[in-house]
Each structure stands twice: as structure tokens, then as C-alpha cells.
Structure 1
Amino acid sequence: MASGSSNLNGIEPRTASAVTFAAKLSFEDIHHSYHGKETIRGISMSAQPGEVLCLLGPSGSGKTTLLRIAAGIEAQGGGRVLLNDQEIAGPNVFLPPERRGVGLMFQDFALFPHMSVLDNVRFGLTALPKSEATKEARFALERVGLAHYADKFPHALSGGEQQRVALARALAPRPSVLLMDEPFSGLDSRLKDSIRADTLAILRHSRATAIVVTHDAEEAMRMADRIALLRDGRLVQVGTAEELYLKPADIFAAGFFSEINIFPGFVKSGRVETPLGNVPAGPLADGSNVRIAVRLSGVAVSQSGGTIPARVLSRRFLGVVELLELAVPGTDQLVRARIRAGQLPSGLREVTVSANERDILVFEKDA
């Protein structure tokens, strides 16, 4: 394995003191504004004890603001934050960060360069006697597989190792809820998968409730028990990765979890005509204007086995897959498709296409 990561999946808590009592963290009708602009618009949801909840969304959707409100770094403009159904931030209560039992891991790790790794991890344990704080810090480093780096300084560590030191520091006080802001964004893409898996194993063993901010849908699907999708300060949908992928609440959610073609359409006799086939309209009434999303991965392209003739206009090799742009009858819009690399002969122009009905999603236009 590359430097900066080790296989931590076998790590087990060694003493009873390793167990954290996970808490439920709830947001109730949270509002927040910054310089007169509303950044959080009435969000309500809960992270259940011991689960990993990912806050997912594009930049500016309110993910980090919500995390900072939970940590006590920001005060909400309205609503309440509750820990195990006890209010920690609301109209009449505002507990400071150090009294919330909540750990926060920053995006840039925020390690002190003049302190050793051990001292960095021990930094948040000021309530303990020095000998006990040192013991807890060493245990936290052991938990993340870096006990042998206790006397080194941050500059001597790789990015992945620094990430794990920051994780050890956040876990050392044994918070009941751990908040992580884009914890993998600064890491080399080659290391992300292994370090993400290691981190998830550590979170499972620590048994803390974890809320992880990310803008990467695949990362959220890899890590989360549940995903909360945000847009423009609002909660779009919350559920498991499978629920959000298979039953997206709207076309924004559909496009966040997979690349899609989008076509206009309308409902006639309970069905919708699309350039790639006729599909049921579900509960939408006849005459409704709709937007049709077709996943690129759901478009099948072959020399002769499809139902619709098409012409290949462009073809891009992306390693495992190829990205095609196709012209089909009935629309001026190009249809994009992702197919397995080498599936079609080189230079082929005239093909046929079809689409898997489960990859054609119909949404009301105004929604």
C-alpha cells in the first residue's frame, strides 16, 4: 500500500475505555443567514446513534455551515440543535463547543507544526491530568495505526498520515458525535480509496456518530449509512445510497448521483414519449409537462441489437469506458452514452440504441 495509509481494518478497541457512547444529533427547522443572504432554509433531520451520515451537495449548499452550527462555531438564526433530545442550541440555550461532547475534524487538518504528533493529539485533553492525557493520546494514535509516529512532527508525515493524526485528535476526547468537513479533499486521488476505507473502519470501531461533509456522490455512497442531499440551503432528500439513486426526489437528485441526458416531454394516456422509448408517467396527470432524465449508463449501444437507429458523432476513450455522443430520430438534442471500452468496432458510425426503462426517470417540470 502507498505511503500514508495502512490497513487498519483489523484494529479492535483494546479496552473498555475505547467505547464511545454514540448520541443522536438532531436539527430542527434550522435557519441561518450570512450578510443578509439566507444560507440554511429550514432544515430538519437527525443523525442516529452510531451511524455515518453524509451531508452531500455542491458548493454553497449549506453543508459546512450546518456542520459549524452543530459544533457551536456558528449560531443559527432560528431553530434548535439537540443532542440525545436535549437542546444544546436554541432560542434559550447555547452550549459552547467544548461542552457539547462533539468533535470536529477540519478540512485542512489544522495540525500545529511546532508540536509533535503526540502533543497535537493531546492538545484537546486539557481537562485530564497530563499523565492520563498522554495515555489517552497514545491510545488514540494506536487506534489509527500511528503509535510509532508519536515523537515525529507533522511536516515529516505524508498527507494521509496527517489526516489520520487529525482523526486521532478528534477521537481522543471520545466525542459522542464526530463532525468531519471534507476530510479527504486534500489527499492524492490514488490514496483516497484506501484511506477512506481505513477511516470508515476506525469510525465503526470508535462507535461514535459521524457526520461527514462531502461534495462527491461516490464518496458519500462508499461511506454513509444514510445521505442527506442539500441544495441552496434546503434538504432535497435523505435516505440510503440505494434509495437516493433508484428513487431520486427530483431531477437535481437524479443528476447528482449519475450522469443523465435531459429531454422535455408531456404525459399522454399515462405514458411519456422519449427519444429512447415510451415509458409510464407514474402518478403524473395527462397533459403534464415533464422533464425526462436518462442515465448515460442505461443507454445500450450496439451494431444491430437496439430498437432505435442512431449515428455516432463523437467517441471519447476514458480507459474502462467510452463516452459517445449520438444523433437519434425525433430530437435535435444529442444523446450521450457510456459503454464498455472496445465494445464497438473502431470507426463504426451507424449503430442502434435502446434504454433500460429503470434508467429513464420522469419528473414534473415545475418540480
Structure 2
Amino acid sequence: MNPAKTHHGDGQRTAGVTFAARLTFEDIRHRYHGKDTICGVSLTAEPGEVLCLLGPSGSGKTTLLRIAAGIEAQASGRVVINDREVAGPSMFLPPEKRGIGLMFQDFALFPHMSVLDNVRFGLTALPRKDAVAEAMAALERVGLAHYAEMFPHALSGGEQQRVALARALAPRPSVLLMDEPFSGLDSRLKDTVRADTLAILRESRATAVVVTHDAEEAMRMADRIALLKNGRLVQVGTSDDLYRRPRDIFAAAFFSEINEFSGRVVVGQVDTPLGKAPAGAIADGTEVDVAVRLSGVSVHNSGGPIPARILARRFLGVVELLELAVPGTERPVRARIRADILSPGVRDVTIAVEPKDILVFEKTPESPYIGETQI
């Protein structure tokens, strides 16, 4: 296959189009030192899709990526690429035979090789002249052809990341696996490099699976997000699905800061220190977790239904972060409000919450209070 190549008006080559593949995990299980690390995960990345594996440390997302790559073997289950089993009970293809590109967290560039030779490294099946041409084409795609003869240490973190991307794309993989690709970048660079990377992925049309622990990063990049916890799949969907319709308290807390309360359903409602909330289809008498997003708490100098006292106030530029004492709970209620709404120095305020901003979930044995933020 030799896809046609096109050029932008500025001379930067667009990514060569590849045949995107469907990557499927079927009931994947994995153990490490006697502990279950992946517990029956079934998931599909559709052709040309950017799928983010999201979750905290230890959730199994990198292990799942390594299983897809062939670096790690699952205990049971199958990995299938375009209806072809590449890892299963009777088959295990090595990484180099899977048509998969890899991009690691630390970029893994060879310091003693030039940028061009780093990108050419995986093109061993091609004659040298063709491999150099393909490597240069990949560098053009990421805008770094003029750095071909330089060495990685002379490049910035963002430039090294783009070299690693060029190396992963050079063999025209049908699936690209990226493990925390932006975690090593300065926060000021992340937005730009992430946007550039996404544009290149869209042009190349490869299926991409991206591991991240950052919910905002997943929302910026992904067509769909797979949220994992303790080796299990919690929820899969678009960023809109997971933010607006979280399946449980864990998913709600992963996508926004929340205040959390416990309660019991009485006549179809739950009474909380921030007001009553409809319980939906949850049966009366059921113990529930209640989440109220910080952005859902409105704070006013006066006039709201619930009295409160400001315990701490942190100015963050566009917004302010507040800790409030509220009747009915010993735990401070947190709010994120637009700056300059409250008078300077005010202590006693009132708050209000719309019922739609109160999320109610059936309590589970694993329902901990999730991460209290100090200000």
C-alpha cells in the first residue's frame, strides 16, 4: 500500500492515509503477582476512532494497552484486529506483526541517533532509500523535517514528542497506541501539542487508543472514552455521555469536582443539606450517594434559600473557589463561582442549588468519599 500524499500550502505534508482497523478486546483478564489487574474487559475501538482509556493509577489502562501491543499476554480472552485474532487461547502474534504503532510516555528516543534515524528505526523491512524517504515524509507531517540531522537532546519536549509521533506513524500502522503521550510536557505546551497531534491523527485516519489519567485531556481528544477502575470497565461513551449521565459516584467525581453526601430515598426524593433531589427510578428506602458539582452551587450575598458562612476563599482569576459551612453537614461545602460576584470581605452568604445539578446514585460497597480538595 502506498497511499497518496498531499501537501498543505505552507509546504507541510499531510499525513498519508492508512486503512484504519477495528481493535477489539474480548473478555480480557490479566493477573500480576496473584492479583487481578484486568477483570473481564470487553471493548472495541472503531476504525478511525480516537478512543481514550481513562482512569486513576492502577486502573489497568496501561496494562490493556500493553496487551493490545503484544508486550504483555492476557490470562484469558482475545484481542482481535479486523476480525483477525492476534492474541487468544491458540494465537499470539508478536508486536511487529500486528500492524500497530506505539508511542510511549517517555518518548523512548535513542539519544545517539539523529532525528531521522530515530524515525527510520522501525522501517527495517524497506530498502534504506525508501526508509529514508518514508521517515522524511513522517517528519514533514509533524513539521520537523528541518530537524532531521539533529539529535533528540537539542529539541524541546514538545518537539521530541512530535518526533516520537512521527516514528510511530512512519510504518503507516492501522492502530496507534499512545501511553500518556503528553504527561511529560510543560503545561503551557500541552494544549498546542495535543491539538497538533489530534489534527495529525485525523489526517492519518489511523485508529488511535490513548491512555490518560486526565479527564479534561480525554474530553479534548476522544471520540469516545472508556473509564476504568480497578481493572473493570465502569462506563463507555462520549464525553457528553459520561459528564451528563455518569453511571455512578466514581464516574461523576472523575469528570468534575463534587460535594458528596449520603442519603435515603423517601417518597421518590432524597433530602440533602443543599435541598431535595428527585431519586428517579430508585426505590424508596434505598441508601444512596448524592453528588453536587461545585459549579452547580450558586452563592449570593443574600436572597438564597440556604444560609452559609465562608470558611475559605481562593481567587483563581476567572473563578473563585469557596469552602462554606452549611447547616446539616459537618463537612465544608465547596463551590466554584465566577469571580467578583461576592462583595470583598463578606462572610455570611446564601446558596442555592438547582435540583438538576444534584446527581443521585444507588450506594455500592465501594462508594468512598472521593478526594476532598483543600484551599
Q: Same fold (TM over 0.5)?
A: yes
**Unaligned residue ranges in structure 2 (runs of 5+):** 1-7, 366-375
Superposition deviation, residue 317 in structure 1: 1.7
Query: Which one of 298, 301, 313 corresponds to residue 300 of structure 1?
Result: 298
| 1:124 aligned residue | 122
- Distance, in Å, in 1 between the alignment partners of 2:318 and 2:28 is 43
Superposition deviation, residue 357 in structure 1: 2.2
| 1:276 aligned residue | 274
Distance of aligned partners of 1:199 and 1:290 in 2 relative to their CA distance in 1, 3 Å threshold: same
Distance of aligned partners of 1:21 and 1:154 in 2 relative to their CA distance in 1, 3 Å threshold: same
| 2:147 aligned residue | 149
Distance of aligned partners of 1:347 and 1:10 in 2 relative to their CA distance in 1, 3 Å threshold: farther
- Distance, in Å, in 1 between the alignment partners of 2:295 and 2:11 is 38
- Distance, in Å, in 1 between the alignment partners of 2:216 and 2:248 is 18
1:336 counterpart = 2:334? yes
- Distance, in Å, in 1 between the alignment partners of 2:199 and 2:324 is 43
- Distance, in Å, in 1 between the alignment partners of 2:30 and 2:23 is 18
Superposition deviation, residue 13 in structure 1: 5.5
| 2:159 aligned residue | 161
- Tell me how large the CA RMSD over aligned residues is: 1.5
- The aligned amino acid for 2:348 is E
Query: Which one of 264, 267, 270 corresponds to residue 265 of structure 2?
Result: 267
| 2:200 aligned residue | 202
Superposition deviation, residue 334 in structure 1: 1.6
SS in 1 for 2:262: strand
Contact 1:27-1:45 at 8 Å conserved across structures: yes
- Distance, in Å, in 1 between the alignment partners of 2:156 and 2:150 is 12
Query: Which one of 210, 213, 216 corresponds to residue 212 of structure 1?
Result: 210
Distance of aligned partners of 1:44 and 1:321 in 2 relative to their CA distance in 1, 3 Å threshold: same
1:327 counterpart = 2:325? yes
Q: What per-residue deviation string (whole Å, max 9, x for no partner) do you get for residues 292-328 of structure 1?
A: 0000010000012322111111112222221111112
- The aligned amino acid for 1:270 is G
| 2:370 aligned residue | none
Query: Which one of 86, 91, 100 corresponds to residue 84 of structure 2?
Result: 86
- Distance, in Å, in 1 between the alignment partners of 2:292 and 2:76 is 39
SS in 2 for 1:64: helix
SS in 2 for 1:203: helix
Q: Which aligned pairs between 1:206-245 and structure 2 lie closer than 5 A?
A: 206-245=204-243
Query: Which one of 159, 166, 189 corresponds to residue 187 of structure 2?
Result: 189
What is the total number of aligned residue pairs between the two structures?
358
- Distance, in Å, in 2 between the alignment partners of 1:152 and 1:356 is 58
1:95 counterpart = 2:99? no
SS in 2 for 1:187: coil
Contact 2:308-2:350 at 8 Å conserved across structures: yes
Distance of aligned partners of 1:123 and 1:357 in 2 relative to their CA distance in 1, 3 Å threshold: same
- The aligned amino acid for 1:221 is M
SS in 2 for 1:190: helix
- The aligned amino acid for 2:218 is A
Query: Which one of 289, 295, 311 corresponds to residue 313 of structure 1?
Result: 311
Contact 2:260-2:289 at 8 Å conserved across structures: yes
SS in 2 for 1:128: coil
Superposition deviation, residue 330 in structure 1: 2.1
- The aligned amino acid for 2:57 is S
- Distance, in Å, in 1 between the alignment partners of 2:12 and 2:143 is 11
- The aligned amino acid for 1:156 is A
Q: What per-residue deviation string (whole Å, max 9, x for no partner) do you get for residues 73-121 of structure 1?
A: 0000000000012111000000000000000101100111111100000
Superposition deviation, residue 143 in structure 1: 0.4
- Distance, in Å, in 1 between the alignment partners of 2:14 and 2:272 is 59
TM-score after normalising by structure 2: 0.93
| 1:39 aligned residue | 37
TM-score after normalising by structure 1: 0.95
SS in 2 for 1:124: coil
Q: What per-residue deviation string (whole Å, max 9, x for no partner) do you get for residues 192-233 of structure 1?
A: 000000000000001000000000000000000000000000
